[in-house]
Structure 1
Amino acid sequence: MLFIKALEFYTENIEKAKKDIKELDKKISLIGWIRLLIVIGMVYFGYKFFKSNNVTLLVISEVIIICILASVVLYHTKLMNKKRKHNIFIDINKRGIDRVNGEFKNVVDNGSDFIDDTHAFSSDLDIFGKNSLFALINDTTTKGGRDRLSKELTLDSFKDIESLKEKSKGIKELSEKASWRQNLRVNGIYNFKNTKKEINEIEALKDFSKSEVKRNKLSKLIAYLMIAFNALSIIASITSIIPLTYLILVLIIDYGVVTALTKKKKEELVIFKDLKNTIKIYADAVSLIEEEEFKSSYINKIKDKLKTNSNISAKAEMKSLASLSEWVGDSTSNAFYLVLNILFFLDVFIIENLEAWKEKNGKHLEDWLSVVSEIDALSSISNLHFDNETWVFPEIVKEKVVVAKEVGHPLIGNRAVRNDYSLDNGKMVTLITGSNMSGKSTFLRTIGLNLVLSYIGAPVFAREFKCGRFNVSTCMRTKDNLEESISSFYAEILRIKLLIEKTEKGEDVFFLLDEIFKGTNSEDRHTGAKELIAQLMKGDARGIVSTHDFELCDLEKEDKKIENYNFREYYEDNKIKFDYKLRKGRSTTQNAIHLMKLAGIKF
C-alpha cells in the first residue's frame, strides 16, 4: 500500500466510490418503480377479488403481495444504507486529501475542549485547537479513541526507548493497512449518532460492567406463566369461551405485572437506549480487530486483551451485546414493541439476558473497550506516515541530544522552510537571536512538535531526526488570568518555577523558552535569564532560548556548553523580507525601527 502515493490512493477511492454510487442510484430508482407497481397490484387485486366477493383469494393475494413488498422494502433499505456508507467513504478520502494538502485549519473537531493552559507544553505548541496537531491527526471514530489520542499528544504515558521503537513499528504497520483503517472508520461513522442527553458512553458501559449482577429467576418464571396465560386467553376468546372484551382486562394485568417486574431495572434500559449506537461501533471495531492479522508485537500485545482464559470470543459477545441494545432501543421508542412487550414480557427477558451477559463478560468489557480506543488512536497517528512519504521515524537514543537535518514545522507542511540543527557534543543550551518575525518562535515550536511526535511513536517532519528521551517543558505564551488576579509576567514566573522543580527532581527536561522575562526591565530581564540558564544547566537540562537580548550571546564565550544560532532579515525595494534560515552565531541585524517607520512613526 505504501507504494501508492497517498493522493493517488485517496483520489482513486473517491472515483471508485462515485461510480459505485451511480450504479446504486440506478438500482434504487428501479426498486422505487417496482414498489409503485407492487402497490398498484395490491390495489388492483384487492379491488378485483373484493368485487367478485372471493374472500379467500383476496386474503391470499394480499398476504403474498405484502410479503413481496416487505422483501423489496428491505432490499431498498439495504441499498440506501450501502449508498450512505459509500458517501461516508468519500468524505473520509476527501479528509485524507485535505491532510496531505495541509488543509485542516477549519476541521469541526480540533480538540479545543482539551486545551489546558497549565499543561507543560500543549498550549504553547498548538497541540489542541484551531490549526493544531490534534486537528491534523485526529481521525478517531470512538470517544474512547479520541480521549486516548489526547492523552497520547500530551505524553501522559511515559514510555521507555525500547517500547517507543516497538510502538513505531506498530504505527508503521497500521499505516500500511489504509483500507482496513478506512473500513474501521466507515463503520464507526455509519453507526454514530449524537444523543441529546449528556452521557459519557464509555464510563456508562464501564459502570454497567462493574455493577452487581442481579439475576431474578422468579421474574423469568412469572413471565413464562403469564405468556402461557395470555396464549390460553387468546385461544379462549377466539373460540368464544370467554368474551373478546375480556382480553382488555388481560392486557391491563399484563402491563401491571411487566412494569412491576422491571421497575428496578428500567433506568438501566433507558441508559442502554442511548448506548446502542456506541455499542454497535465498538462491536464492529472488535470484529475488525479480531479478524485482522498483525505482525507488530506492539499491536498484538494490545489485541491480546481481546482474549480471555475461558476462550470467550470478544467478537461474538460484543455482537450479542449490540443485539441486546437494539432491543432495548426499540423498547423505549417503538409502539409495536409495547404490544409485544405486554404479550410476551420482552423487557423481563432483555433484563435477564443483560444480567447474564454481564455475569459472563463484565470483567472483560473494560479491556475490550480499551483495545478499540487504543487501536483507534494509533490508527489516526499512522495517517502521518501514510500521508507524508518524506517524513521519517526518529532515532531515539539514551544520550541527551537533539540532532535534526532538514527539520520543518509539522503544521506548516510543504510551505515550511526546513533547517538543520544540533544540540550534541556536550552542548546543553541553544541561544537563538534574530529580528522580529524572523522565525524564532516558529523554530522553537518546530523542535517541540517534532519531539512530541517522536515520543508518540510517529514519524517526524525531517530528513533525519535523533533525540534523547526528554520531558518537554515550554514557556512561550503566558497571559493574564483575571479570575486568578495573575499578570502575564507572574504567569511566566509560575511556569519557570515548575520547570526548575522538574530539574530539581532529576527529570530529563528539554525546555523551550521564548523571550523570557519580557514583562520586566532590560537589566532585570538580562540578569534573570542569565541566572535561569545557569540553574537549568546545573540541573542537567537541555533546551533552546530565544531572545532579543544580544548581551546573552556573550554566554557562549563564557561556557562552551552554550551555542548561538540566529535568524535574520534582508531588504528589497525598502521592504523587509525573511528567508527563515537558521544560521550559527549571534544575530547582527535588527528591524524594530524599520517596522515602526512602516507603522507611521517618524524618527
Structure 2
Amino acid sequence: MTSTQVACGALLLFVFALVWSMVRENNKRKKKFLEKIKKSWGAVPTREYSWDELEQISAYHKAQPKNSFVIDEITWNDLDMDRIFMLMNQTVSSAGEDYLYAMLHRPEFSEERLKERERLFCFFEKEEKTRICCQQILTTLRKPRGLSLYQSIHVEKDCQVGSPIREILSCVLFFASLVAFMVVPAYGVFAFLAVSGINIITYLKGKEEINRYLGGFRSVMQLIGCADALEKAGISELSEYIKRLKDCKKALGSFRKGSFLVVNHDGMETGPEAVMLDYIRMMTHIDLIKFNSMMKAMREHQKEIEEMIEIFGLLDACISIASFRELLPYYCSPEFDSDKKRAVLDVENLYHPLILEPVANSIKTTQAVLVTGSNASGKSTFLKMVAINAILAQTIHTCMATECKMSYFRVMTSMALRDDLESKESYYIVEIKSLKRILDSAKEETPLLCIVDEVLRGTNTIERIAASSEILASLCLPHVLSFAATHDIELTYMLEEYYTNYHFEEEVKEDDVKFNYLLKKGRVTTRNAIRLLKMTGYDDSIVEASKNAVVRFEQEGSWKKVGEN
C-alpha cells in the first residue's frame, strides 16, 4: 500500500468520523428538543424576562401601523398584561413571541379573523404530530444576539452599500497568486503569501463593517429555510399560509442565491465546515462581494420579509395559545354582539387567570356597574378580571368563564396610577389626565369598556365626591359600559339612576377577617377599617376614639374636633 493510498484512507476516515459526529450531535439536539416541547405543553412557562428582553419583544408591536384600536400603555400596565403574556408564552421562535405580544395589544373587531385563529388553535390542539413538526421547523428561527428577529431585519436601513470593485480585485489577485504558486513554486510562493496576508488584513477591516448586518441576513435565510420546510411538510390545513410563503420566497430568489458565501444559514458559527469556509472568505473576499447584492435585495423586499415574520409568528403564537388553554381549569370561546350602538356583557363563572385558586363570579349587564366593599375584599381584582377577559376574548378568542357574550369592546382602564417623577406631575394630575383620555374615547361610537378604580383618590373628600359623580355619570352612554370601584358610599346614592350597585363583603370574627370574594347585588353595608386597626395591634384608645367619631358623624352629620369631650 502506497503512502498516497494511506493518506487518502486516513482522509476518508477523518471525513467519515466528522460526518458521524455531526449526525450524532444533531440527533441528540432533536431528541432534547422533542422532550422539551412535550414537557412544556399545557404547563406553566418557567422563563424569566428582563426589562431589556421585553423591550426587544415589544419592538414588533410598536412598529405596526396604528390604524385600529390598540391597548394603551396605561391599560396594559394597570392589568399587568406583561405577566399575562409570560403565562401564555410557550413560543419557540423570536417571531412567535413578538407576534404574541403584539396580538395581545390589538383586540380584533372582525369575526372572520377570530374564527381563523380559533381554527388554528383547535387544529394544533388535536394534531400533536403536526404541531410538533411545526415547532421543529419554527425553532430554527433563532433569536439574534441582543435583538429580536424583527429588529435584526431593520438594522440595514442605515447601511451605505458601496462598490464591490476592491473586493473583486482582491479575489482576482488571490487566484492569480495561487496559479503562480502552482506554476512557479519557488517564486510564486512569495506572491501567494503576500497576497494572502494583504487579503486577510483588508478582509478583517471590511468584515468588521458588515458584521452588524449579518444577523439580519441570517434571519432572512432562516425565514426562507422555514418556508421550505413547511412547504415540504405539506400540511393541507396550512395551505393558504404555505402559498403566501412560496410567493415571498420567489421574490427573495436573488437574495437567497449564493447566500451561503456570506452567512451560515443555521446560525451556527462553529464547527470544521464553518472554519474552512471562513478561511476561503478571508482569502477571496467572496462574502464581501455578495454582501452588496444581498443588501440591495433585502431593502427591495422588506414587505415580503415582514409577511414571512407575520405568518410564522401567527403559527407559533397559535400553538402557544393552544397550550395555554390546556393549562386553564376551564374556558370558553366568546359569543359577540354585533350591535355597535349598545354595550353588553354577560359572563358566567368568570375568573382571573393570574390567581392560583380563583373565585369565579358572574354578571349580566347593559348598565354601568359601581362596586363597593371594604379593603382587600376583591373590588380591584374583579375589575381587572373583567377587563383582562374582555381583551383575551378579542385577541386569543378565549375567555376564562363557562359562558361569555359581549360586545366588541375597546378596553381602557384607570387604576394603578402613580406620580410621574420624570414630568414632575403629581398623582392627581396623572389621574385626571388618565380619566380625560377615557372621556375623550367615549365620544367615539364603537362600544367602550372602561374600568375605573377609586375615582380621583388623589384629592380631598368633598371635591372627590362632587367631581367623581359627574365624571362617572358622563360615562353612562348606550355604547359605553363603565365599571367603577369606590369607598365613597355617597356615590352609590348619587349615581343610583346611572349605575347598578354591587359589592363585596367579609366575615369579621374576633381576631380575623375572612373574605369570600363573591360579588353581590346592592351597596356594601359593612366596614372593616377600624376593626383592622385593632387586629393589627393599634392602641385601644385610638381604636375606641375612631369608633366614637364614626358614631357621632352618623348621628349628627358632622365631625368633632380631636380631643373634645
Taking structure 2 as the reference length, the TM-score comes to 0.79
Q: Partner residue of 1:409?
A: 352
Q: Residue 76 of structure 1 aligns to a residue in which SS?
A: helix
Q: Partner residue of 2:526?
A: 589
Q: 1:545 to 1:351 in 2, by over 3 A?
A: closer
Measure, in 2, the Cα distance between the counterparts of 1:194 and 1:365.
Answer: 16
| Matching of residue 229 in structure 1 with residue 166 in structure 2 | no
1:394-442 residue CA offsets vs partner (Å, 9 max, x unmatched)? 11112421110011111225x1111111113xx2x01111121111111
Measure, in 1, the Cα distance between the counterparts of 2:193 and 2:329.
Answer: 68
Q: Residue 514 of structure 2 aligns to a residue in which SS?
A: strand
Q: Which of 412, 420, 425 is 1:481 aligned to?
A: 420
| Matching of residue 64 in structure 1 with residue 15 in structure 2 | no
Q: Residue 92 of structure 2 aligns to a residue in which SS?
A: coil
Q: Partner residue of 1:312?
A: 250
Q: Partner residue of 2:86?
A: 135
Measure, in 1, the Cα distance between the counterparts of 2:160 and 2:362.
Answer: 60
Q: Which of 109, 119, 124 is 1:159 aligned to?
A: 109
Measure, in 1, the Cα distance between the counterparts of 2:387 and 2:468.
Answer: 20
Equivalent pair of 2:331/2:399 in contact (CA under 8 Å) = yes
Q: Partner residue of 2:264?
A: 326
Q: Partner residue of 2:443?
A: 504
Aligned-residue offset at 1:270: 1.7
| Matching of residue 286 in structure 1 with residue 227 in structure 2 | yes
Q: Residue 492 of structure 1 aligns to a residue in which SS?
A: helix
Aligned-residue offset at 1:91: 3.3
Measure, in 2, the Cα distance between the counterparts of 1:153 and 1:318.
Answer: 33
| Matching of residue 432 in structure 1 with residue 432 in structure 2 | no
Aligned-residue offset at 1:510: 0.7
Q: 1:492 to 1:67 in 2, by over 3 A?
A: same
Q: Which of 231, 249, 267 is 2:191 aligned to?
A: 249
Q: Partner residue of 1:123?
A: 77
Q: Residue 121 of structure 1 aligns to a residue in which SS?
A: helix
Measure, in 2, the Cα distance between the counterparts of 1:203 and 1:165.
Answer: 30
Deviates more, 1:337-346 or 1:525-534: 337-346
Aligned-residue offset at 1:569: 0.7
Aligned-residue offset at 1:362: 6.3
Q: Partner residue of 1:20?
A: none
Measure, in 2, the Cα distance between the counterparts of 1:342 and 1:316.
Answer: 23
Equivalent pair of 1:314/1:368 in contact (CA under 8 Å) = no
Measure, in 2, the Cα distance between the counterparts of 1:370 and 1:524.
Answer: 50
Measure, in 2, the Cα distance between the counterparts of 1:510 and 1:438.
Answer: 23
Q: 1:282 to 1:186 in 2, by over 3 A?
A: same
Measure, in 1, the Cα distance between the counterparts of 2:259 and 2:199.
Answer: 26
Task: Note the 1:140-289 alignment, pairs <5 A.
Answer: 140-155=91-106, 158-186=108-136, 189=139, 192=142, 195=145, 198-199=146-147, 201-206=149-154, 208=156, 226=173, 229-237=176-184, 242-243=185-186, 245-253=187-195, 256=198, 266=207, 269-275=210-216, 278-279=219-220, 281-289=222-230
Aligned-residue offset at 1:377: 2.9
Equivalent pair of 2:254/2:294 in contact (CA under 8 Å) = no
2:294 maps to amino acid: L
Aligned-residue offset at 1:223: 7.2
Measure, in 2, the Cα distance between the counterparts of 1:109 and 1:183.
Answer: 30
Q: Which of 80, 85, 97 is 2:25 aligned to?
A: 80
Equivalent pair of 1:454/1:460 in contact (CA under 8 Å) = yes
Equivalent pair of 2:137/2:230 in contact (CA under 8 Å) = no
Equivalent pair of 2:412/2:438 in contact (CA under 8 Å) = yes
2:212 maps to amino acid: I
Equivalent pair of 1:213/1:358 in contact (CA under 8 Å) = no
Q: Residue 543 of structure 1 aligns to a residue in which SS?
A: strand
Equivalent pair of 2:177/2:195 in contact (CA under 8 Å) = no
Q: Residue 77 of structure 2 aligns to a residue in which SS?
A: coil
Q: 1:219 to 1:194 in 2, by over 3 A?
A: closer
| Matching of residue 378 in structure 1 with residue 329 in structure 2 | no
Aligned-residue offset at 1:454: 0.8
Measure, in 2, the Cα distance between the counterparts of 1:205 and 1:387.
Answer: 34
Measure, in 2, the Cα distance between the counterparts of 1:448 and 1:147.
Answer: 23
2:13 maps to amino acid: I
Q: Which of 410, 415, 427 is 1:471 aligned to?
A: 410
Measure, in 2, the Cα distance between the counterparts of 1:584 and 1:285.
Answer: 55
Q: 1:468 to 1:335 in 2, by over 3 A?
A: closer
Number of aligned residue pairs: 522
Aligned-residue offset at 1:77: 2.8
Q: 1:341 to 1:213 in 2, by over 3 A?
A: closer
| Matching of residue 395 in structure 1 with residue 328 in structure 2 | no
Q: Partner residue of 1:423?
A: 365
1:568 maps to amino acid: E
Aligned-residue offset at 1:589: 1.7
Aligned-residue offset at 1:96: 3.4
1:94-120 residue CA offsets vs partner (Å, 9 max, x unmatched)? 433532xxx75x634687547999724
Equivalent pair of 1:438/1:569 in contact (CA under 8 Å) = yes
Ranges in structure 2 where 5+ consecutive residues have no aligned partner:
63-70, 544-565
Q: Which of 432, 444, 461 is 2:383 aligned to?
A: 444
1:326 maps to amino acid: N
Equivalent pair of 2:447/2:480 in contact (CA under 8 Å) = yes
Taking structure 1 as the reference length, the TM-score comes to 0.74
Equivalent pair of 1:478/1:492 in contact (CA under 8 Å) = yes
Q: Which of 496, 504, 512 is 1:567 aligned to?
A: 504
Deviates more, 1:377-386 or 1:274-283: 274-283
Aligned-residue offset at 1:293: 5.7
1:60-109 residue CA offsets vs partner (Å, 9 max, x unmatched)? 3343134223312321232223223332333334433532xxx75x6346
1:403 maps to amino acid: D
1:301-344 residue CA offsets vs partner (Å, 9 max, x unmatched)? 655432429x828799769756751189869x976446434655
Measure, in 1, the Cα distance between the counterparts of 2:431 and 2:160.
Answer: 50
1:494-513 residue CA offsets vs partner (Å, 9 max, x unmatched)? 11011111112444321111
Equivalent pair of 1:433/1:567 in contact (CA under 8 Å) = yes
Q: Residue 511 of structure 1 aligns to a residue in which SS?
A: strand
Deviates more, 1:514-523 or 1:335-344: 335-344
| Matching of residue 90 in structure 1 with residue 90 in structure 2 | no
Q: Partner residue of 1:366?
A: 306
Measure, in 1, the Cα distance between the counterparts of 2:478 and 2:43.
Answer: 44
Equivalent pair of 1:403/1:421 in contact (CA under 8 Å) = yes
Q: 1:301 to 1:122 in 2, by over 3 A?
A: farther
Equivalent pair of 1:209/1:363 in contact (CA under 8 Å) = no
Equivalent pair of 2:377/2:505 in contact (CA under 8 Å) = yes
